[in-house]
Amino acid sequence: MADPPSSPRKTLLQLFLALFLVSSCCFLGLRWLVTSGVGSHTPSQGSAPPPELPGTRGTHLGMALVPDSTPLSQARTYEWRAESLLPPEYRVVYGLGESLARSLDSQHRAYGRKMRFRALSHARFTYQAPSGCQQDMRCIYAELMRSNAEPVHVLGTRFIEHIRERRLDPLEAAELIISFVQRIHYVEPEGQPFGVIPPALVAARDEGDCDSKAVLAVMLLRQAGIDAAILYSDPLAHAAVGVALPVHVRGPPFRLGSHVYRYAELTTEGWPLGMIPPQHDKPHLWKVLPLPESPGETGSSVEAVDTPVSGDVE
């Protein structure tokens, strides 16, 4: 017999407890100590992996193999829940060929050498940002979006087709994508330049920390025609995603020019859009990182609804 569904109050309590177990859930927290770019990032204490859905239930979004000849043995089947959608259960298969995965990893390491990345300890690193590159990781994120554009676009196509077929509005489409990225296991990068895993490898390996997952989420959201940006807090050593959602979505606004974003937490399954975890609920310590469009981003793939500009936010 299936377990009875949890009450909203019980579910919310479980979410709060899950996040409180992690004192610092991101390999980020850059603090620039000298002009050449010395940073520190605070490791987490770890958290239990989210529970797996049994069997093969749910709406199947299809297979995304890059290249098409990639054996299924090298692919992963994701099963997750988006509680606000009907049906709530979803599946997708994603896999990268071994050669492509090695190439993406090699490109990332080559970029680290170009930026003179050097690990100082498990929690600190340094690199030299070139002229015109802000020392807040935005150049690194932009490069990852560029170099991983094609394999992430293939994955995003599976979501786009479902969004169009079901005529999902922006909030529903964002729920579908964010809940998928939340499902990916939280794992701190080991030996990766800048403490970030390339977004295509995040999906292919089922692992990533907060900003690694945030880059993937921004790419998928933008491909679906949803305005999104990375939210970054150096003092809190954390990263999340800002999503331009309809004005009725609760939560503090994050502004960048005329754009207004709501918070999306990626490190805990089922965490509601717009809600900031208690230990990170300090909006004045966050900033929005503007990122360039990456190849393959589309116009609008969702049903149009009113999304906020600065004057619309309460």
Q: What's the pLDDT tens digit per position in 161-190?
A: 999 999 999 999 999 999 999 999 999 999
State in Å, rounded, how far the first CA of the chain is from the last one: 45
Nearest to 211 by CA among 47, 34, 42, 15: 42
pLDDT tens for 58-81 read 899 999 999 999 999 999 999 999
pLDDT digits (tens, 9 = 90+) for 15-50: 444 443 344 455 444 433 322 333 434 333 444 443
Mean pLDDT of 88-109: 98
Cα–Cα distance for residue pair 77/95, rounded to 1 Å = 9
Q: How far is 4 from 1, CA to CA, in rounded Å?
A: 9
- Cα distances (angstroms) measured from residue 98 to each of 72, 155, 205: 12, 17, 11
Query: Which residues share a beta bridge with 64?
Result: 94
**Residues 85/175, Cβ–Cβ less than 8 Å:** yes
Give residue 303's pLDDT band: very low, low, confident or very high (50, 70, 90). Answer: low
Q: Average pLDDT in the 272-276 region? A: 95
Q: Range with the lowest mean pLDDT among 118-122, 187-191, 234-238, 270-274?
A: 118-122
Cβ–Cβ under 8 Å, residues 299 and 238:
no
CA distance 164 to 298: 13
Q: What is the pLDDT of residue 250?
A: 84
Percent of the chain with pLDDT over 90: 67
Distance CA 11, CA 154 (A): 33
* Domain extent listing, the chain: 25-47+58-312
Give tens-digit pLDDT for 125-163. Answer: 899 988 888 778 999 999 999 999 999 999 999 999 999
Instruction: Indicate if the pLDDT at residue 7 is higher than 90.
Output: no
Is the N-terminal amide bond of 87 cis, ω within 30° of 0?
A: yes
Beta bridge partners of 294: none
Residue 297 pLDDT? 64
266: nearest Cα among 310, 306, 231, 226: 231
Find tokens 């690694």 and name the residue.
Answer: 212
Res. 290: pLDDT tops 50: yes
Cβ–Cβ < 8 Å for 250, 160: no
Higher pLDDT, 193 or 9: 193
Give, to the nearest 10 degrees, the angle between helix 170-183 and helix 149-166. 130
pLDDT digits (tens, 9 = 90+) for 214-268: 999 999 999 999 999 999 998 999 999 999 987 778 889 999 999 999 999 999 9
Positive or negative torsion for Cα 208, 51, 226, 311: negative
Counting DSSP H helices and E strands in the chain, the numbers are 7, 11
Mean of the pLDDT values across residues 197-222? Answer: 98
Q: What is the pLDDT of residue 26?
A: 52
